[in-house]
Amino acid sequence: MQFMASKQPENSLLGPESDSQRTLYPYVTGTSVVALKYKDGILMAADMGAFGFHSRSSSLFFSCFVLEVCCFKRPGSYGSTLRYKSVERMKPIGKHSLLGASGEISDFQEILRYLDELILYDNMWDDGNSLGPKEVHNYLTRVMYNRRNKFNPLWNSLVLGGVKNGQKYLGTVSMIGVNFEDNHVATGFGNHLARPILRQEWHENLSFEDGVRLLEKCMRVLLYRDRSAVNKLQIAKITEDSVTISQPYSLKTYWEFSAFENPAQGAIGSW
């Protein structure tokens, strides 16, 4: 019996561009994550917006999007505009860790699948031990660097924090495996806009209330200055005993600053 390879019709949605490809373009992405150590543990903040991007290599994705919006009347936007408004980008990992991610949402979901398998394998030993935040962070650095070396990166910047045996841990890793730990970290525009605020105002004995106020100040600055930020955020807390992720809420803002009313005033060569 002979088997013939089926040929895709020329007018099919599946064209040559539907073949297996590397992650060259992020499609649905989240922006900054900001985290810090406080007196009893780790605090982390992230907004809930996710933006869609379009490239010439995404014809199948675009066709499916048009079908979704036009035929099923579902709200959404395309291009570099807000597409989803309720994307949770912080997740507890095992008993002692909390993970936040910026970047491609589908790659973040893949990382969560890896971590589910890691935690399950660890629990199967049933030896009374469990992976702490340092071990999980080291695992993530190896995963990100391994995928980078295969030229198939996971398009994310990750923040991993946690508490185990009274020791607080906070670290970050980029999509190419660059990693470090610190008393406060941020991804995306937060590296440029939030870290200066944290360097100036963070201190070791920060209370929970002061830590939340400091994170809200950082997120408010990001909302003013980062086009991808939205005014709907969550703040997560992890201590020795538990992990808590707040319900989404909005910050009070003030848009009447003169620099906002006429941002091009005094700019040379502006329109």
Strand partners, 91: 99
Two tokens, residue 222 = 């990001």
Q: How far apart are CA 241 and CA 92, in angstroms?
A: 13
Closest CA to 45 of 251, 253, 245: 245
Is position 23 annotated as part of the catalytic site? yes
Question: SS3 for 190?
Answer: helix
Q: Which residue in the list 23, 172, 187, 244 is annotated as catalytic?
A: 23
Contact 36, 184 (CB under 8 A): yes
Two tokens, residue 164 = 């185990």
Contact 164, 133 (CB under 8 A): yes
Catalytic positions are 23
